[in-house]
């Protein structure tokens, strides 16, 4: 693929960023050469977003204008817009006030991308458990400090549901994974939540392998979940860390045999 011919961008003269007005007055886009031109367009627009020269709420020029600015066909522009939309970077709206608007990717969307990378990597259950030991123990102080009454009630309700499922013999490792994801949400840190959401698949895989090695692990684990919530309610960091360490370490021990 031949290199892009970059042009010196002019200073924005359009409406303020985030106003929803089209970015027609900004000479931001450079013509592209042959090759995978749609990806080159994607990379250009992604870079402008990262640099803050295109911000959430800004409307991109029309397809026709983009074709002229990039020197490509409408099919190529539409392909690039589809990629950007799939990545959560733009929102394409229809109608008289429609167009392609810059947006902010949600935690769930970002988490999906990380999850795909993790799922496609040759991770072992033991490696996942080691990572859990580092990560989940690391967030315990934040959980103890920041968990609200709503968080605590939600965690206690999950523990009750787990106990009922155990009594009815319908307990699953999905329930255990759900508890750990909810614990992470109690940090009220978006980055932590995103990472845990992306780690859900590998976490579930490791829990299922541990359950095969020790079918009764679910019973002890459910009780430890409740003990952990009680420690958080008391704002006892040391107790909460000890419970979580024992909880995860037992999974590691089972996977090692």
237 in the Ramachandran plot: left (φ > 0), alpha (ψ -120 to 50) or beta? alpha
Nearest C-alpha neighbor of 243 from the set 216, 212, 222, 215? 222
70 in the Ramachandran plot: left (φ > 0), alpha (ψ -120 to 50) or beta? alpha
Q: How does pLDDT run across 103-137, given as a tens digit for each residue?
A: 876 655 555 555 555 555 667 778 888 888 899 99
Nearest C-alpha neighbor of 100 from the set 110, 108, 90, 109? 90
Cβ atoms 45, 28 nearer than 8 A: no
- The domain limits of the chain are 1-104, 107-256
Give the CATH fold of the 107-256 domain: 1.20.120
- Helix (H) or strand (E) segment spanning residue 99: strand 99-102
More confident residue, 183 or 97: 183
| pLDDT > 50? residue 2 | no
At residue 250 the predicted structure's pLDDT band, cuts being 50, 70 and 90, is confident
∠ CA 90-95-101, nearest 5°, is 15
Q: How does pLDDT run across 202-232, given as a tens digit for each residue?
A: 777 777 776 665 555 567 888 999 999 999 9
Give the CATH fold of the 1-104 domain: Arc Repressor Mutant, subunit A (1.10.10)
């Amino acid at each position: 693929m031949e290199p892009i011919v970059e042009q010196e961008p002019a200073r924005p003269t359009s409406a303020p960023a985030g106003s929803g007005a089209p970015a027609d007055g900004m000479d931001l886009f450079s013509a592209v050469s042959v090759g995978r031109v749609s990806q080159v367009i994607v990379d250009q627009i992604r870079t402008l977003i990262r640099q803050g020269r295109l911000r959430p709420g800004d409307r991109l020029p029309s397809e026709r204008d983009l074709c002229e600015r990039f020197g490509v066909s409408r099919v190529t522009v539409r392909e690039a817009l589809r990629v950007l939309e799939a990545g959560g970077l733009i929102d394409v709206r229809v109608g008289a006030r429609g167009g392609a608007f810059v947006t902010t990717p949600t935690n769930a969307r970002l988490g999906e991308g990380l999850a795909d990378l993790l799922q496609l990597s040759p991770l072992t259950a033991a490696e996942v458990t080691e990572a859990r030991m580092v990560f989940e123990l690391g967030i315990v102080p934040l959980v103890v400090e920041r968990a609200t009454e709503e968080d605590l009630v939600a965690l206690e309700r999950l523990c009750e549901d787990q106990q009922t499922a155990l009594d009815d013999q319908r307990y699953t490792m999905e329930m255990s994974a759900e508890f750990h994801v909810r614990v992470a949400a109690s940090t009220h840190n978006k980055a932590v939540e995103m990472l845990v959401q992306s780690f859900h698949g590998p976490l579930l895989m490791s829990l299922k392998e541990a359950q095969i090695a020790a079918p009764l692990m679910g019973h002890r684990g459910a009780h430890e979940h409740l003990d952990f919530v009680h420690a958080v309610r008391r704002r006892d960091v040391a107790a909460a860390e000890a419970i979580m360490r024992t909880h995860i370490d037992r999974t590691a021990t089972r996977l090692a045999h």
